[in-house]
Amino acid sequence: MPQLPIVAILGRPNVGKSTLVNKLTGSREAIVHDMPGITRDRLYQPAFWRDRDFLVVDTGGLVFDDDTEFLPLIREQAAVALAEASAAVFVVDGQLGVTAGDIEIADWLRRQSVPVFLAVNKCEAPDRGALQAAQFWELGLGEPFAVSGIHGTGTGDLLDAVLPHLPPVESLDEREEIRVAIVGRPNVGKSSLLNALSGMTRAIVSPISGTTRDAVDWTVERNGQSYRIIDTAGIRKKKNVDYGPEFFGVGRAFKAIRRADVVLLVLDAIDGVTDQDLKLAGRIKDDGRAAVLVLNKWDAIEKDSNTIYTFEREIRARLHFMDWAEAIFASAQSGQRVGKILDLVDVAAAEHRRRVSTATINEVLQEATSWYTPPTNRQGRQGKIYYGTQVSSQPPTIALFVNDPLRFKDDYRRYIERQFREQLGFTGTPLRLIWRGKR
Ligand code: GDP
Ligand code: GDP
């Protein structure tokens, strides 16, 4: 998951930092402690404004010795918080006016490299607010923003000023390697498919040793995109008859699935979906991997005009829990539609890595809940969805914050998931929804 930009909130105790943080974040729970690369002992709260997601961290009160000198430990902590922040909001008390401590902090902040925005809090009084804020020009930090953490006034202007200083969320490198696993029962045509793919891709780079001794990966390239085909040894080795059934067993396929971005689940169009296929499909879904269903040996089927529909209907019915995966009828032997398989892999990989902004997610939720309001329980209390946010990708995972998860039964949860699918796509990848209650 790409790192979100961080906005640090600083100021003396009691100026209203936590009140302001709650206003900016909508009191969203800190749900991001397991994100890599951020300090663990601070509370990071997700926030969004317009179409941008970011994290807000309250650095705690900046306490002074005799009101003139920073306590060294606190200054150190604040410096660490600033070091990882893209912008800082310095909060002061507009009703109290400029204090010696504010001047001290401002002098220190001007020597830091992060852009600083001055929030003059407690300025809710319409007649006095602007004047209260104006006193703080003397801090030399530029325009003071009159805000009220309690009422929320002025926070929009403040955020509008902050937003341009947040770096864009690290965008997906489209040329990043895509890891592909080819799995299926024996004899469905996995190694034939590997050959066909190798034949149509431009360069076969030398095999790469995988993690286990005999797992060999290959890298192939097409149109500047690299694909790492996982465990080609496992696909090919069966030609040496002596390996026991375990070697091709499901364990090896499970390992390949775990390492993949996109799994090609190869099915034999003649046999349809067998129980072994279901087992592999279940694992793909549980592991949260993207997938493409390859219905191979299509050339060997006697067809009339309805065949493709009848086949697809049967396969879809058996694999109903994977309705998000694209299915393609192909022939590894003749090469028919093998190129199209890679097109579908590209789409599935991109969707698997995709991030959707919190603003967009909440638009979908708003629309969905206004068409079909959440159910009411027997005590007459209605389910409420406060907001949703995407907490990770690969696979895309959306946390929904609700008043009580028990009020949302399966049918409503499926309805919400369907709405996300319809509005946002996510073709080729599983989508995870996490329903969380307010504590
Ligand atoms: P912190 O120590 O900086 O985190 O400050 P708090 O958020 O705990 O607030 C300190 C006090 O200031 C509390 O009594 C708040 O109710 C009050 N306060 C916070 N924001 C406002 C505001 O916008 N207007 C007024 N009048 N009081 C506020
Ligand atoms: P694997 O065990 O899954 O790796 O399957 P193989 O690639 O070894 O193929 C098993 C058998 O199916 C071989 O005899 C292939 O020639 C045949 N086969 C593979 N793909 C196709 C196909 O698209 N059409 C037809 N008719 N036969 C195929």
Comparing 439 with 328, the larger pLDDT belongs to 328
Ligand number with the minimum distance to the CA of 58: 1
Domain boundary among 353, 386, 415: 353
Give the CATH number, domain containing residue 199: 3.40.50.300
What phi, psi does 329 have (nearest 5°)? -90, 125
Lookup result for tokens 């995407």? 390
Domain end position, chosen among 138, 165, 192: 165
Q: How far is the CA of 4 from the centre of ligand 2 (A)?
A: 47
Which of 13-27, 75-89, 196-210 shows the lowest mean pLDDT across its residues? 196-210
Could you tell me the pLDDT band of residue 26, with boundaries at 50, 70 and 90? confident
Say what the pLDDT of residue 246 is. 47
The answer to whether residue 234 is domain-embedded is yes
Answer yes or no: is pLDDT of 378 > 60. yes
- Are 295 and 393 part of one and the same domain? no
Nearest CA to ligand 2 atom 18: 189
Judge if 307 and 409 occupy the same domain.
Answer: no
Q: Residue 47 pLDDT > 50, yes or no?
A: yes
Q: Is residue 171 part of a domain?
A: no
Closest-approaching ligand to the CA atom of 59: 1
* Residue 184 annotated in ligand binding: yes
- 201 or 138, which is more confident? 138
Residue 172 belongs to a domain: no
348 and 366 together in one domain: no
Identify whether 146 is part of a domain. Answer: yes
Q: What is the pLDDT of residues 276-290, one digit of tens each?
A: 999 999 999 999 999
pLDDT per residue over 132-186, tens digit each? 999 999 999 999 999 999 999 999 999 999 999 998 765 545 458 899 999 999 8
In whole angstroms, what is the distance from residue 349 CA to residue 170 CA?
17
**Range 324-330 average pLDDT:** 95
Q: Indicate if 15 and 77 belong to the same structural domain.
A: yes
CA gap 253, 263 in Å, rounded: 10
Residue 316 lies in a domain: yes
Smallest CA-to-CA distance from 390 within 348, 424, 346, 437 is with: 424
ipTM exceeding 0.85, yes/no: no
Top pLDDT among 265 and 272 is at 265
Q: Specify the pTM.
A: 0.67
The alpha carbon of 331 and the centre of ligand 2 are apart by a number of angstroms equal to: 9
Residue 1 maps to a domain: no
Res 104 pLDDT > 60: yes
Q: What is the CATH number of the domain that holds 429?
A: 3.30.300.20
Tell me the three state secondary structure of residue 427.
coil
Q: Which of 374, 285, 352 is nearest to 321 (CA)?
A: 285
Domain that holds residue 74: 6-165
Best residue among 14, 58, 120 to mutate for probing ligand 1, ranked by most atoms within 8 Å of CB: 14
Which is the closest atom of ligand 2 to the Cα of 194? 7
Domain co-membership, 280 together with 362 = no
Query: Which protein residues touch ligand 1 with a CB less than 6 Å away?
Result: 11, 13-19, 61, 121-122, 124, 148-150
**Does residue 232 line the site of ligand 2, with CB under 6 A?**
no
Ligand 2 midpoint to CA 297 (Å):
7
